[in-house]
Chains A and B, each alone.
Chain A
Amino acid sequence: MMARSFDTLTAAEIAAGIAAGDFSAAEVCAAALDAIAAREPEVQAFLQVTPELAQDAAARIDAARAAGEALPPLAGVPVAIKDNMNLTGTRTTCASRMLETYESPYTATCVARMLAAGCIPVGKANMDEFAFGSSTDSSAYHPTNNPWDTTRVPGGSSGGSAAAVAAGMVPLSLGSDTGGSIRQPAALCGIVGMKPTYGAVSRYGVVAFGSSLDQVGPFGRTVEDVALAMDALVAGGRDAYDSTSQEVAPAFAAAAAAAGEGLAGVRIGMVPAFMEAEGLTPEVRRGVERAAQTLADAGAEIVEVDLPHVDAAIAAYYVIGPAEAFSNLARFDGIRYGYQEPGCTNLATQSALSRAHGFGDEAKRRQMLGAYLLSSGVYDTYYYAAQKARTLITADYNAAFAQVDAILMPATPHAAFRHGEISDPTQMYLSDMYTISLNIAGNGGIVVPVGLGEDTGLPMAAQLVAPAFADERLVTYAAAIERGLANGNNGASVLGVAPAFAGKGGELR
């Protein structure tokens, strides 16, 4: 067999190849570690690479195959884990000095399920500190570079997870999405990223940012890979350790395959106001229109829908998110674990200085904002109003889904921006204008690449949104877009590994 780079293979192809004996899990593991070593200096997607854990997991897969055991569906597929997800044997730093040496004594349910599906954990991916951000620049350790242009950000907060996939270091990774933290970096890195409906994937063991907003989801270079990862995440039913989790059928791979049957009878909504929004660049708009045309070519009917209250989503988000973050991050006081200011003589000083020096600027900004928003006399004005907005936005989506099966919209207003280009936090917050309303309403969304922008030459993406717990539709429709573009229609093609990194190291022998 001819040598080739491991990054030409999808997760599905790797698992099939190992099952067929074309190559071993150990060989895939070695190729992944080699690709990471070759590409990481320029991308900096990881906070920790875990060769021992990866090699042990690969050895178990190879031993199981040698013993004639049936292999799990993602056997031998390298996966990167966002660093806010606990995995025993690794540090879980949340890209913060506060947790620089913190090792969790337990593994998050989502990670455990990926490992149970046969994935081999190659490392912990960089992120914005405690997931506060849209660029990964707020990591306390180092920024991550967009593999399509290393002077640009990969998006965030799950920027490391997205960049690792886009640079071909892994075929799959896990991210978390509180306001767009999976979908925005997927869009900026030209890969597929999915935020399932709130409750579809367990949050147990994922360090909380906004408990009512956070949701775990996968990144991949193809819709099929993302669907396989979704099946792994929901297999095993609802998690008894997360009382907000729900039972979801592992029918995503089947739903991806169903795209082949066409979309006759499917109604896809589009929101005119979204396509005319200030700040939306023409190339992104044209990308979304390509996606719409591709869906129409597959037989779907495109209709206009309205989401009248969705403008309030960003304001509501910047009340609910910081309020919950203030509460969730209160536990980091340096007493039991994490950064502890040395030389303090009393508890109050130790807590105050540990927090002052353990957290970065954005983490402190969000917590102070949350502490203010929840305080007596202010709470009614903001928190209660935000909850009302939440109810209205959810009702908007319900009304729209009475007319359509899914809604097509942009994922981000523009392509990847340069490091440091957006310095005003408020401007940064606005780059999440298309993603945030889903975290507010709770339903799921998927981002799928739609070629390169005519103006920037950077990846463009479209976002599909479905009703709550109809996430399998997202996979079907996204797969239809992917197929349509692969056929060369509409002047765009499927994006693979970012060209600068394709084939760099990672030769599969």
Chain B
Amino acid sequence: MKELNEVLQDWEAVIGLEIHTELTALDTKMFCNCKLTHDDEPNTHVCPVCLGLPGALPVPNKRAIESIVKAGLATNCEIQKHSMFYRKHYFYPDMAKNFQTTQGPVAFCMHGHLDLEVTGRGAEERPACAFGEAEAASLASASAGAVGLSADLSRMAGEKAEGASDEGALAGLSSYDTAALATAKRHEDGSYTVPIRILRIHMEEDAAKMVHVGGEEGRIGGAAESLIDYNRCGTPLIELVTEPDLRTPEEARLFMEKLRRIFVTLGISDCSMEKGSMRCDGNVSLRRRGDTTLGTKTELKNLNSFKALHDGLAYEICRQAEVLEEGGEIYQETRHWEPSRKRTVVMRTKETADDYRFFPDPDLAPFDLTDEFIAHCAAEIPELPDAKRDRYQRDFGIKRADAEQIAGDPAGADFFEEAAAGLAGKAAQTVANLIVNELTGYVNAAGADVTLATCGITPAQVASLARLLAEDAISSNQGHEVFTLMAQTGDDPAKIVDERGMRQVSDTGALQEIVDAVLARCGDQAQQYRDGNQKVLGFLVGQCMKESRGKGNPKLFNELLRASLS
């Protein structure tokens, strides 16, 4: 198979994502009072409602509606005041009612977007030919071809259910505004920004968890029996569907990361891909560069990490290219990413479109969200990661990449703001470096239950250490040592440095004496340097450090040696 970069020169990958997020921050399920839980004994958090027992009725969880409205506002969606729940029918034991309660053509949140900044090596996945006019044509044709996304949605779009009052709400669905498509903007350094449109975010209930005993990786093939845990059944779930605007696996990965940072900041979910509270399916098709009709798409499952999302899509793009270049045909099918074998395999083939027999759920009255309700949700939205990143870059003067990383994690951001309070420039950047390089690694290594809040290191300690580093009172190597000591002892770094006599000597007068002594002793090496051997300077700095018993500032030694030898 060809490499991704080579494939994408000739082929355009059209990618859309469907991202399911469990609202794990809520206390109870979507339509009943059962507790939300991830790890409890199977079937211990169930009731007549989530078990779909005869006569049971759903009652919507108001806090779940608040959560999805916040998600919509934070992703630039239009909040639909009038929407309703629909029933989606399929016979499978993971849904006790044999229908899933989900939303119809009008979701709570419609037509949003997120802007991606694609930098570094990831930006190289999008070839130069995929910018400008070609990209505008590509977006317009892909959107036109994907209207409605599925037969059921497009069917529902033509309908006015429950009387005539829906006409206004449905009008937005009738056509896509392809004229207003925004294209990628490339910057001088090779990075680019691209807006990715969001079709909708709708509210639904999760299904039960099934374990197929004896099957490979818990799948049904070859299984002897199947177990069902209804604890998860009825968990509030929001599903975000993007427009087919993504063109590279890197863009898909960045979109998912960005969305995760937003949802975590909103506090609506723990967004754990590992535990399955955030799950992503990828739809991908290929077409020759310049083509305006869409190829047949496949749907990828089991993309349960950012790496899996990227690598699964990359593999599938290369696989499709190989099939097509050999004159083969792509079948519309669902494929399973196998990370261990780095390949996708067929799960099931969709020969006909499923008929889910969607219709408005008569047990749930249509929603009419008030302006007050939406305003109340908006007021509860904290500063979002992008705004925070820009503020950190502006007010603290730290690097954009570091600002982005810190701002994406609410706990890390709070920590940073406390540690960097009153600092700017070098000291603030040093705080950022310590959080990104030292602290994150330390917390991750400390075990799964350790968080920033419980790791024992305080913002004051990090601020103190950053000051020592910024003032060159200790070297960066010493900084790492002091970090470890302060984590162990809980002491203030200044105290550690003083007690252990680690403070660097930066008095040039005192250091010059050492330099003079070393040069006098190492005449041969001095001559080699003068003869053009730059490498020998490191040896001389080492000698100076040794002479100073490690306390001399290595940077100053370097400067003084160069001056003395010139």
Contacts and interface: CB of A to CB of B under 8 A. Distances in A.
Nearest to A98: B54
A331 B59 contact: no
B57 A331 contact: no
Interface stretch (B13-21, B140-148, B151-159, B283-291): B151-159
B162 interface: yes
Nearest to A85: B55
A371 interface: yes
Interface in B35-77: 48, 51-60
Contact of B54 (A207, A211, A391): A207
A22 to B, nearest CB: 37
Contact of A376 (B155, B163, B364): B155
Given A210-B362, A330-B97, A243 B59 contact: yes
Nearest to A377: B155
Interface in A51-77: none
A107 to B, nearest CB: 10
A384 B48 CA distance: 31
A306 to B, nearest CB: 22
A327 B365 contact: no
Given A211-B362, A347-B93, A336 B55 contact: no
Nearest to B364: A243
Interface string B356-367: 011101111100
A376 B57 contact: no
B378 interface: no
Nearest to A102: B54
A203 B363 CA distance: 10
A119 to B, nearest CB: 19
Contact of B57 (A242, A335, A374, A391): A242
Contacts of B58: 243
A330 B98 contact: yes
A84 B87 CA distance: 23
Nearest to B357: A374
B56 A327 contact: no
Interface string A161-177: 00000000000000000
Interface residues of A, number: 50
Contacts of A212: 362
Interface string B277-310: 0000000000000000000000000000000000
Given A105-B48, A243-B365, A374 B96 contact: no
Interface in A84-131: 84-86, 92, 94, 99, 102, 104-106, 108
Contacts of B52: 331
Interface in B246-277: none
A375 interface: yes
A331 B98 contact: yes
A105 B52 CA distance: 12
Contacts of B51: 336
A324 interface: yes
B510 interface: no
Interface string B332-371: 0000000000000000000001010111011111000000
B446 interface: no
11 contacts: A104-B54, A108-B55, A203-B57, A241-B57, A244-B364, A348-B91, A374-B89, A375-B355, A376-B155, A379-B155, A379-B357
Question: Nearest 6 CB-CB pairs, A to B?
Answer: A212-B362, A330-B98, A211-B362, A374-B357, A205-B55, A207-B54
Interface of B: 48, 51-60, 87, 89, 91, 93, 96-99, 151-152, 155, 158-164, 353, 355, 357-359, 361-365
Interface of A: 84-86, 92, 94, 99, 102, 104-106, 108, 203-208, 210-212, 240-244, 323-324, 326-327, 330-331, 333, 335-337, 347-348, 351, 371, 374-376, 379-380, 383-384, 387-388, 390-391
Given A208-B363, A242-B59, A243-B363, 11 more contacts: A104-B48, A104-B54, A204-B55, A208-B55, A323-B359, A330-B91, A333-B93, A376-B151, A380-B159, A387-B163, A390-B163
